[in-house]
Amino acid sequence: MMNRLYQKYETWIYKLLFVSFFLPHQVQTLLFIFFSCWVLLNAIFQKVTLTKWELNRAIIFGLGYLFYILYLPLTDPGLRHLLYSLLERKVSLLVMPFVIPLALKLSRHSFRGELRYFAIANVLHGRLVNRLVHFDGAVSSPLKIDHVFYRTAFESIAGIHPTYYGLYICFSLTVLLYDPKVRTWH
């Protein structure tokens, strides 16, 4: 019964997960917690486990999170709040290397098809953020915005630096280029 329940809702959970990258950090965190619990509980009920090789790989990837913790004593006390914020936001680096292989084993199909929701959300989010940056009444033309104003405004609205946001764009383009449904649009 649990397997049928998992298969019934898995595509919607993946869609929500991929769209969550563009939602506020608190919502992202809640969705990652929900996704992780959903996968772990289903893995326990269905007796799905990681192989020794998968477990070792997950531990190695999860150790990347420990670099944030190890840097804590070396951080200036006045700046530790920034590191605490990173520790809170990057906890998925510790958990996801264990959850993703389990999710792949539980899934009846690859979630590659749901990745297009990441690309769609990226386009909509980028368009909305750019529209909000240009919404200021003092800016009558996109050509009158200097790069410092744009970068600062974009980062304050989106919560991510435009350069790093470019990585999302590159990943979205890759998803769309390899999506067979998108290739049939032209």
pLDDT tens digit sequence for 32-70: 888 888 888 888 888 888 889 988 888 888 887 887 788
Task: Give 30's contacts (C-beta < 8 A, 6+ positions apart).
Answer: none
Task: Give 17's contacts (C-beta < 8 A, 6+ positions apart).
Answer: 31, 32, 35
Band (1; pLDDT cuts 50, 70, 90): low
pLDDT tens digit sequence for 155-170: 888 878 888 888 888 8
pLDDT > 60? residue 138: no
Do residues 113 and 66 lie in contact, with contact meaning Cβ atoms separated by under 8 Å? Answer: no
pLDDT > 50? residue 137: no
User: Which DSSP symbol is given to 142?
Assistant: G
Task: Give 31's contacts (C-beta < 8 A, 6+ positions apart).
Answer: 16, 17, 20, 23
Angle formed at CA 123 by CA 172 and CA 144, multiple of 5 degrees: 120
DSSP track, 47-114: T----HHHHHHHHHHHGGGHHHHHTGGGS-GGGHHHHHHHHHHTTHHHHHHHHHHHHHHH-SS-GGGG
Band (3; pLDDT cuts 50, 70, 90): low
The per-residue pLDDT for 110 is: 67
pLDDT tens digit sequence for 72-128: 888 888 888 888 877 777 777 778 788 888 888 887 666 777 888 888 888 888 888
Measured CA to CA, the distance from residue 34 to residue 109 in angstroms comes to: 20
Do residues 119 and 172 lie in contact, with contact meaning Cβ atoms separated by under 8 Å? Answer: yes
pLDDT > 50? residue 131: yes
